[in-house]
């Protein structure tokens, strides 16, 4: 049993609200008759907003958003309404004529390239400081909870300490964790850092959210697994795989976005060179990559790959059917950039496949050129991962605002009389 800060007379807070935590399908989710106001900064296409939205059973409604990329803004507005503002957030905050609306929660991922291991100039990258306008908006909006998402390399840095110190000076209690998307139903092994700040309770009592999925042990699994109830929800499922996500899709057609119903609108291919096709055929088995190409056909292997011994070495690789996908980045359609070849077909993955690996529903509307859409997909927070973080935020706000369900009240009474 956990108690909210004594200054807030809203009673007990449970370890979790099972009605929120255990309902995973849209049919089972409770349809709330109330809403919480949400602001999304550095929003991209809106993957994080989507996870907090009614599409994933949550009562958060986006009232304001911002991104520097106009194509992302167009996609966001197409899906959430015309309130995403295009422009540099620093300039926007410096404009006295612009008023930041009131909100209950502010979410967002300040551009992460400043911390990325792929950025060779990260020590002096000005993008490492874009958390400052994020917390400025948190303060101006009056939000009592914020969720900041970034690459795992952020945690433990000087900037991380500055974020914590600044948030605490604004009255927030803060906790942070690295979350693996596959542990929460996303068919992708993508790890992200989340920092959650809350003004009225210590967020670590609920954050991180308990895992919903566990790592597959393979076909030889012969025993019953037991799960720590503090780490996993009851009856967790196996990690979702490439097969689960895209096994139903036919071979792609064409090389352009098609004006047809999803999912096939974004299920198009490329025009690889004959040399690329030869390379694909040399490594036909799941899991093969550039090292197998060099072993089997050194004459087809680029010299730069032969010389490359460190850094991103998992290039030109095939995905495995029965494992989650690797981290989807913005150039997933280029197999020379990573493990982005289809498990059996001689081609890179398509935009639709990448979107599904990111857990975007087929009904989500991407706008812009195929290059811009690829950036939107690769840079997004997986909505299903965001939805599990939203579980925590919703329980905290529900308790504070006394919007507990009848299920919660019954359980609370049982706890009180135990």
12-24 as b/e, with b when 16 or more CB fall inside 10 Å?
bbbbbbebbbeeb
Q: Verify whether residue 84 is a known catalytic residue.
A: no
- Give the largest Cα separation in the chain, rounded: 75
Q: Report the DSSP pairing between strands 36-41 and 12-13.
A: unpaired
Token code pair at residue 120: 């060779």
* DSSP code string of 9-33: ---EE-S--HHHHS--STTTS---S
Using CB atoms within 10 Å of the CB of residue 249, give its burial: 0 to 12 exposed, 13 to 18 middle, 19+ buried: middle
Token code pair at residue 225: 């697994």
Distance CA 390, CA 11 (A): 21
368-403 as b/e, with b when 16 or more CB fall inside 10 Å?
bebebbbbbbbbbbbbbbbbbbbbbbbbbbbbbeeb
Q: Name the nearest CA neighbour of 157 among 190, 193, 202.
A: 193
Distance CA 322, CA 276 (A): 25
Residues linked to residue 38 through DSSP beta bridges, in sequence order: 62, 105
- Which of 72, 112, 304, 407 is the catalytic position? 112
Distance CA 402, CA 339 (A): 48
Q: Name the nearest CA neighbour of 34 among 401, 332, 380, 344.
A: 401
Distance CA 202, CA 2 (A): 10
Where in 171-228 does DSSP place strands (E)?
A: 173-180, 191-198, 211-214
Q: Name the nearest CA neighbour of 309 among 294, 323, 327, 325.
A: 294
Instruction: Let me know: does 290 contact 317? Beta carbons within 8 Å.
Output: yes
Report the catalytic residues: 112
């Amino acid at each position: 049993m956990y108690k909210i800060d004594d200054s807030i007379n809203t009673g007990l807070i449970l370890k979790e609200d099972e009605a929120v935590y255990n309902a995973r399908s849209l049919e089972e989710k409770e349809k709330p008759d109330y809403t919480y106001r949400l602001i999304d900064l550095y929003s991209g296409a809106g993957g994080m907003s989507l996870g907090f939205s009614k599409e994933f059973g949550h009562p958060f409604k986006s009232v304001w958003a911002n991104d520097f990329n106009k194509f992302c803004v167009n996609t966001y507005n197409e899906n959430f309404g015309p309130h995403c503002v295009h422009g540099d957030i620093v300039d926007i905050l410096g404009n006295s004529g612009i008023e930041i609306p009131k909100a209950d929660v502010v979410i967002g991922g300040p551009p992460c390239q400043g911390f990325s291991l792929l950025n060779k100039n990260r020590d002096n990258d000005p993008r490492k400081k874009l958390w400052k306008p994020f917390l400025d908006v948190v303060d101006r909006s009056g939000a009592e909870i914020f969720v900041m998402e970034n690459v795992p390399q952020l945690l433990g840095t000087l900037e991380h300490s500055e974020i914590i110190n600044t948030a605490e000076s604004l009255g927030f209690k803060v906790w942070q964790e690295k979350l693996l998307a596959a542990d929460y139903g996303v068919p992708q092994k993508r790890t992200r850092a989340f920092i959650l700040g809350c003004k009225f309770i210590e967020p670590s009592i609920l954050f991180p959210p308990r895992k919903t999925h566990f790592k597959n042990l393979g076909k030889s699994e012969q025993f019953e697994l037991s799960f720590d109830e503090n780490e996993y929800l009851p009856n967790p499922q196996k990690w979702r795989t490439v097969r689960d996500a895209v096994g139903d899709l036919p071979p792609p057609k064409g090389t352009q976005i098609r004006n047809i119903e999803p999912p096939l609108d974004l299920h198009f291919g490329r025009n690889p060179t004959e040399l690329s096709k030869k390379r694909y055929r040399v490594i036909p088995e799941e899991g093969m990559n550039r090292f197998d190409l060099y072993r089997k056909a050194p004459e087809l292997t680029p010299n730069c790959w032969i010389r490359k011994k460190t850094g991103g070495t998992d290039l030109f690789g095939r995905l495995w059917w029965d494992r989650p996908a690797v981290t989807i980045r913005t150039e997933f359609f280029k197999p020379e950039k990573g493990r982005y070849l289809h498990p059996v077909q001689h081609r890179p993955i398509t935009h639709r496949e990448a979107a599904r690996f990111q857990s975007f529903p087929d009904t989500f509307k991407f706008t812009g050129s195929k290059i811009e859409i690829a950036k939107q997909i690769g840079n997004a927070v997986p909505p299903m991962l965001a939805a599990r973080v939203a579980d925590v935020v919703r329980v905290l706000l529900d308790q504070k605002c006394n919007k507990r369900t009848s299920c919660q009240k019954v359980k609370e009474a049982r706890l009180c009389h135990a």
